[in-house]
Chain A
Amino acid sequence: MDSALLVHRLHFAFTATFHYLFPQLTMGLAPLIVILKTLALRSHDPARVDFYDRAARFWARIFGVSFVVGVVTGIPMEFQFGTNWSHFSRFAGGVIGQTLAMEGLFAFFLESAFLGLFLYGEKRLSRWAHWGAAMAVFLGSWLSGYFIIATDAWMQHPVGFVRAGDGSAQLSSFWALVLNPWAQWQYAHNMSGAGITGAFVMASIGAFYLLSGKHVEYGRLFVKVGVLAGAVFCILQIFPTGDAQGRMVAQNQPVTLAAMEGLFDSAPGAPIVLIGQPNVETGKIDNAISVPNMLSFLTYRRWNATVQGLNAFPKDQWPDNIPLLYFSYHIMVGLGTIFIAVTVVSVFLLWRGKLFSARWMLWILLLSLPFPFIANTAGWMTAELGRQPWLVYGLMRTADGYSKSVSAANGIFTLIGFMGMYTVLAILFLFLVNREIERGPEAQPALAEVVEVS
């Protein structure tokens, strides 16, 4: 691999991976904060109103810290299309510039305006208006997600464009771009993934409070909201969104599906590999444990359907890092399955009234905190590695898209700069969030003490 190409790929992969740790948390927490604000709004007892409002303020603070990191690491993503991937931008800007510009105009303005009101304006706004501000932040962050997914979906499955005289892609149908069927399923799948992160983080911190005997009332609330929301998102994650996403890949990127599943030879009644390492040299799965016929069924709903293996495609169409793609996909699916088990058992215990005293389950919830982040990251790696060797599927290869004028040395220089900067950001973030968790929701001021900014 050309070293400048490798540097630019690593540059984007590193900054995107780090960035997405934060939006998945804010997009996941936003609806949960709306739920807490709704509970407050529906309560009549002033003590309960205060209880739910403090809970919402506690999460708003964690949301605020995550949001800042998400914003400052998000700006480099937009810039890098031009700085590191200028040939791609020249080729595709006439199409995906639409969705990226719309994100700024429709989502960021909404989000930033109302986040200021939500964080600083509680005293100045009526209860309903403050609830509305929380809702607007939720909508803004979820809208933002859609425009980004629509951009990525065009790279996965380009629609609604024509090739201009200079070879670039130019928009020919706005609605085809915005309503790209790929974007719709990918969005649903991605957002339920973010929902899982928000729900698990809330449940995990709640479990921590219950286990340590601090802020117990709040701990119960967080565990309850977390596992209930988590169960809903986990189920949506597999069905229908994950299932539909998988079949879309099978239909439009069959070679990607074969690489994800580690299927080398086309076969009727293809098995699904649960565990094993794909060996690209020998074209086999080492140490395989697989379920016969399952892949055929999941993909085509017929036990004996033929699924095309990697060998059915020319090698220059194969994703260029099959093992990493395979492992990303298997980690995502494996964790998704475990999440369903965790939330279903938790909801069952909650229903029986035993969850808050089942310390073993609370431990599981506490320790589950990092895994949704890993699963979401693995999911994005599956999507983006699976698209290789294409930058825009079937139209432009990744090797043709990077900035030829930016040398590998300059790329490494700024990559190191980002690594240093993001290490500092990560330390500060963990430090501040840890401090908020230590202080707990009870340290949040009552409304009378909430300071407005005038």
Chain B
Amino acid sequence: METLWFAIVAGMLTAYVVLDGFDLGAGVIYLVVARTNEERHMILRAIGPVWDGNEVWLIAAGGTLYFAFPLLYASSFSGFYLPLMIVLWLLMLRGIGIEFRAHIHDRVWQSFFDVVFSASSIVLTIVLGAALGNVIRGVPLGADGYFFLPLWTDFRVSANPGVLDWYTVMAGVVALVTLTAHGAHYVALKTRGDLGRRSRRLAMLLWPLQLVLTGLSFGLTLLIQPAILDNFRTYPIGWLVPVVVAGSLAAILWAMFREKELIAFLASGLYIVAMLVGAVFALYPAVLPASTGAQFSLTIYTAAAAHYGLGVGLIWWSIGMALALGYFVFVYRMFRGKVEMGEGHGY
């Protein structure tokens, strides 16, 4: 039961990264690839109807985490207090950047929100990557199950870590590059003309970087957490993960050369899924490893809610998820296809 909920929460968070990832990435490349007001407007229209729904995955995943693993929620949210508050402020800025920009057709107003939207997307992407880095590296959990991390200490991976050290900054950079490429694939898929061309070129430039960072992040993770290979030894099926990572990277490249934008975008999504599944698989059954000693690590067994609640939850979760997927399919079908030039400015 705990394992099942672990998989569900991890799955929802992965869905969040893949889905919100493309609109975050679109925000990262926004100022670079979209030069004219018309082009910027096209990007915003490509993500306009879906970004809010994508972000709901984060809220729903947060709620599900709270319900299934209350201790993990309590411990990690209070321990990562400062970075989470920064995430909240960035989400706010980004939300109003997207939505308020369109309300006034004035250059000064729109330029301001252009920068708000893009800058908050960039920082948010890095922070999300660093957050994952923190979970993999481990935190100084006490015997009471709590900890508190300052934003940084000396940037070394030591007994006294901060949220930012060289490892988590590296994870932030990996996230930035990965989601930037993901966003570029999405914009390429949804638009035509110079905008689409520039996005494709950017995605092409980022591909070798992705390849290098994939290898680098694996090597460095092995360096600071050698135990990540244990689960791969116990369950050899886990070796499928690196195969899928490599395969999806190859597929991205192939699709880019063939100009098959949908396949490139989907392969990019698959790559993200595989990277995250790999991380989660390596951690299991820990959900928050302790740098202070394995006996303090939070595992799915120590952090989970009681079985009755988890069992009931499974029933309503299945119903709710089926409905949610239904809406998603419906909305994405309604807004499928490319955003065209000169469609005006919404109402």
Residues on A facing B (Cβ under 8 Å):
57, 61, 64-65, 68-69, 71-73, 75-76, 78-79, 81-84, 86-87, 89-90, 92-95, 97-98, 100-106, 108-110, 112-117, 120-122, 124, 164, 168, 170-172, 174, 403-407, 410, 414, 417, 421, 425, 428, 432, 435, 444-445, 449-454
Residue contact A451 to B62, C-beta cutoff 8 Å? no
Residue contact B330 to A113, C-beta cutoff 8 Å? yes
Residue contact B317 to A98, C-beta cutoff 8 Å? no
Residue contact B312 to A82, C-beta cutoff 8 Å? no
Interface residues of B in 88-125 (CB under 8 A from A): 88-89, 91-92, 95-96, 99-100, 103-104
Distance A237 CA – B305 CA, assembled complex (angstroms):
37
Chain A: CB-nearest residue to B60: A104
Distance A73 CA – B338 CA, assembled complex (angstroms):
32
Given contacts A83-B78, A109-B324, A109-B327, contact A417 B89 (CB under 8 A): yes
Binary contact track B305-329/A, C-beta < 8 Å → 1, others 0: 1101100110011001101100110
18 A-B pairs, CB-CB below 8 angstroms?
Answer: A65-B103, A68-B96, A71-B55, A72-B91, A86-B77, A86-B78, A93-B71, A93-B74, A101-B317, A102-B316, A104-B63, A116-B331, A414-B81, A417-B85, A421-B92, A451-B346, A453-B48, A453-B339
Given contacts A98-B309, A405-B79, A445-B347, contact A106 B84 (CB under 8 A): no
Give the A-B pair count, Cβ closer than 8 A. Answer: 242
Answer yes or no: B82 CB below 8 A from chain A CBs. yes
Distance A172 CA – B306 CA, assembled complex (angstroms):
9
- Quote the shortest CB–CB distance from B57 to chain A (angstroms): 9
- Quote the shortest CB–CB distance from B9 to chain A (angstroms): 10
Given contacts A78-B63, A120-B49, contact A97 B335 (CB under 8 A): no
Residues on B with C-beta less than 8 A from A98 are 67, 309, 312-313
Residue contact B335 to A93, C-beta cutoff 8 Å? no
Residues on A with C-beta less than 8 A from B64 are 101, 104-105
- Quote the shortest CB–CB distance from A77 to chain B (angstroms): 10
Distance A112 CA – B75 CA, assembled complex (angstroms):
30
Residue contact B85 to A83, C-beta cutoff 8 Å? yes
Distance A192 CA – B81 CA, assembled complex (angstroms):
36
Chain B: CB-nearest residue to A61: B347
Residue contact A113 to B78, C-beta cutoff 8 Å? no
- Quote the shortest CB–CB distance from A406 to chain B (angstroms): 5
Chain B: CB-nearest residue to A174: B312
Residue contact A82 to B66, C-beta cutoff 8 Å? yes
Residues on A with C-beta less than 8 A from B103 are 65, 432, 435
- Quote the shortest CB–CB distance from B146 to chain A (angstroms): 5
Residues on B with C-beta less than 8 A from A95 are 309
Residues on B facing A (Cβ under 8 Å):
45, 48-50, 52-53, 55-56, 58-64, 66-68, 70-71, 73-79, 81-82, 84-85, 88-89, 91-92, 95-96, 99-100, 103-104, 145-148, 305-306, 308-309, 312-313, 316-317, 320-321, 323-324, 327-328, 330-331, 334-340, 343-347
From B88, B306, B336, A164 is in contact (CB under 8 Å) with: B306
Residues on B with C-beta less than 8 A from A114 are 327
Residue contact B306 to A451, C-beta cutoff 8 Å? no
Residues on B with C-beta less than 8 A from A450 are 347
Chain A: CB-nearest residue to B329: A113
- Quote the shortest CB–CB distance from B322 to chain A (angstroms): 10
Residue contact B84 to A428, C-beta cutoff 8 Å? no
Residue contact A76 to B79, C-beta cutoff 8 Å? no
Residue contact B305 to A116, C-beta cutoff 8 Å? no
Residue contact A120 to B79, C-beta cutoff 8 Å? no
Q: Is the interface of A mostly helix, strand, loop or mixed?
A: helix
From B62, B81, B313, B339, A403 is in contact (CB under 8 Å) with: B81
Chain A: CB-nearest residue to B9: A101
Residues on B with C-beta less than 8 A from A432 are 100, 103-104
Residue contact A170 to B49, C-beta cutoff 8 Å? no
Chain B: CB-nearest residue to A443: B347
From B45, B75, B78, B146, A453 is in contact (CB under 8 Å) with: B45
Residue contact B309 to A94, C-beta cutoff 8 Å? yes
Distance A120 CA – B344 CA, assembled complex (angstroms):
12
Distance A425 CA – B100 CA, assembled complex (angstroms):
10
Beyond contacts A406-B81, A421-B92: 5 other A-B pairs, Cβ-Cβ < 8 A, are A72-B95, A86-B74, A97-B66, A106-B323, A451-B347
Residues on B with C-beta less than 8 A from A168 are 70
Residues on B with C-beta less than 8 A from A101 are 60, 63-64, 66-68, 313, 317
Residues on B with C-beta less than 8 A from A84 are 78, 81
Residues on B with C-beta less than 8 A from A174 are 309, 312
